[in-house]
Amino acid sequence: MSTIEQALAFEQTSLKSLSTNDRIKLSRQAKALILDLNQIYKAKKDQSIMDLMKRLTAIKRKVEKRLNGKHLLNNI
């Protein structure tokens, strides 16, 4: 399976009722996919690849916001 196909499949991942461990795995997987897509984008300069990276980054930020927000609320 190519990196682009993996990224498209990753986009379809449900973000509901995930454990902390699942969120960490999703964040790491998203980061790896984004870095791989970036290498492809550097070679091809295809705008659709950039759009896919932006969508994956949005998913990654959403997952990380939930991860980072838990311990910040406990310190207040």
Q: What is the pLDDT of residue 39?
A: 93
Position 8 in a domain:
no
When divided into structural domains, the chain yields a total of 1
Of the CA atoms within 13 Å of residue 4, those in its CB half-sphere come to 10
Q: What is the pLDDT of residue 75?
A: 56
Residue closest to 70 by CA, chosen among 19, 31, 26: 19
Q: What is the pLDDT of residue 28?
A: 92
Enclosing domain of residue 52: 20-74
Residue type, 1: M
Residue 37 CA, chain-centre distance (Å), reads 11
Position 15 in a domain:
no
Q: What is the pLDDT of residue 14?
A: 82
Q: Residues in the chain with pLDDT < 70?
A: 1, 70-76
**pTM of the full structure:** 0.80
Helices (H), the chain: 3-11, 20-44, 47-74
